[in-house]
Structure 1
Amino acid sequence: MGKIWLTRRGLLSLLAAAVAAPARGETPLGVPALYAADSLTGLALRGFDAVSYRLGPEPLPGSGAHEVTWSGLVWRFAGPANRAAFAAAPEAYAPRLGGYDPEGVAAGRLVEADPLAAALHGDRLYLFRGVERRQRAGPALLEAAEARWPVLRRDAALGG
């Protein structure tokens, strides 16, 4: 096998690509991924079944055999019934605040959330950055985040 040499030009190209590439979990504009999407696969909730959050203590992993595309992302489900329920009313099952952490949204920032740090408040699903944030989230925080969300959503869509 021959040796592979990296030229100065090749090294500079790699460096430029690394600087331009978004961080994991972020869009090309540097905004954390909507609906906790996996940046490599484009799967919403990193492949977890959005309907299953309402059916048990832990979300179920979705299957490639049961997918639907909504809001520009692929959503996976554990079975055809969950897929059909989501397809009929996606906004009822998708996480609130675009899947961003409510504490961050309330503070005016789009903070990536973990689909395994989720909680239902009433009939609304929220994702949090971590378990600690989920534990300290109360009605006042969620109301503040909901109030701030329309402006953050608009600004993120405009790239600013």
Structure 2
Amino acid sequence: MNNYFIKASLIFVLMTLISVSYAQKAEVFSQNDKAIKGYDPVAYFTDSKPVLGKDEFKFTQNGANWYFSSKENLELFKANPSKYMPQYGGYCAFGLAGGYKAPISPDAWTIVDDKLYLNYNKKVQTDWTADRAEMIKKADKNWPTVKKDK
């Protein structure tokens, strides 16, 4: 009986470590199991502002739960996810230019050439915008390697 408890505990610890390790390697920035903090990626294009998604309009894509503010936005996303997904899995574009993943603020965003870029905060967004073309070039180069990092 005691041996069973020890084995079960070890299996639980091992599974927890594996799941934590996998979660940290996520290619999509999620917080509380919500991609880009639960904001509607389509709304940045259609409403020109960040809009919090609703639980009833949830869709799983690329291993992440995406939330939408309306059924229409959900359908637009389903029809063409790559058009609406933020660049670099929704991680901060400035961070990616520097070679690392960083969280984002939904209010610090830019659309460039029909692509959504998110930043850590408004200050970082200002720094990113100052040399945006070069930042995008660096982040594009770094993303294939960094996307698997913890």
Distance 1:67 1:55 in 2: 18
Note the C-alpha offset of 1:53: 0.4
Runs of 5+ consecutive residues of structure 2 not aligned to the other structure:
1-12
Contact 2:28 2:62 in 1 (8 A): no
- Structure 2 residue aligned with 1:98: 89
Provide the aligned length of Structure 1 versus Structure 2: 131
Code of the aligned partner of 1:102: A
Runs of 5+ consecutive residues of structure 1 not aligned to the other structure:
1-16, 22-26
Question: Once superposed, which parts of structure 1, at least 4 consecutive aligned residues long, lie more than 6 Å away?
Answer: none
RMSD (Å) for aligned C-alpha atoms: 2.3
Structure 2 residue 8 is the aligned partner of structure 1 residue 28: no
Percent identical pairs in the alignment equals 25
Note the C-alpha offset of 1:32: 7.6
Q: TM-score by structure 1 length? A: 0.72
- Structure 2 residue aligned with 1:142: 136
Q: TM-score by structure 2 length? A: 0.76
Distance 1:90 1:33 in 2: 18
Contact 1:44 1:75 in 2 (8 A): yes
Contact 1:117 1:129 in 2 (8 A): yes
Which gives a bigger RCO, structure 1 or 2 (Cα 8 Å, sep 6+)? Answer: 2
Q: Deviations over 1:81-105 (max 9, x none)?
A: 1000101111111110111112211
Equivalent residue runs for 1:10-25 within 5 Å: none
Contact 1:62 1:76 in 2 (8 A): yes
- Structure 1 residue aligned with 2:109: 118
Q: 1:93 to 1:83 in 2, by over 3 A?
A: same
